[in-house]
Amino acid sequence: MQEGFTTTELIAGRGGSAGGLLIGAVSNMAGDSFKVLVPEVPFVDVMTTMLDETIPLTTSEWDEWGNPKNREDYNYMRSYSPYDNVEAKAYPHMYVTTGLNDPRVGYWEPAKWVARLRELKIDDNTLVLKTNMGAGHFGASGRFNQLRELAEGYAFIFSKLGVK
């Protein structure tokens, strides 16, 4: 933005799963730099998930994410965990997706995060939670259903950016 290639009013971010974690962290750390964010099946409740050894993928993920039983890892993970860092401030427009049958990121993570955002955010920007009741981690099955989901996300982005 400093180079003049874009402005806050014309920039959007989108990412899924761990990329959704990134978008969630961006919403807390630099949300004022974006007009629209689209976290898809976002891994946003890092601390709760990574502390629960009964979840099948948790302990095998410690090599990548860190083990929250280690104080240094815990503090680092806590510093970027989207759910744990929601504040009373303005957030960009957001279209958050999740799937009821997602074995990697439970639908409750985005739902819990969106509830916290709705409670604390101080703006009138749109905050949508779309739960696909028949989808898993990779969205709806079938080519046309996947394209429909992709189009919905882009339609949200374009509408908020003012693209006709």
Which residues participate in catalysis according to the annotation? 17, 102, 137
Q: Which residues have CB under 8 Å from 97's CB, separation 6+?
A: 38, 39, 40, 41, 110, 129, 130, 131, 132, 139, 149, 153
Helix, strand, coil distribution of the chain in percent, nearest 5: 50, 15, 35
**Residue 159, Cβ density class (10 Å: 0-12 exposed, 13-18 middle, ≥19 buried):** middle
The rounded distance, in Å, linking the Cα atoms of 157 and 164 is 11
Q: Which residues have CB under 8 Å from 13's CB, separation 6+?
A: 23, 26, 34, 36, 37, 38
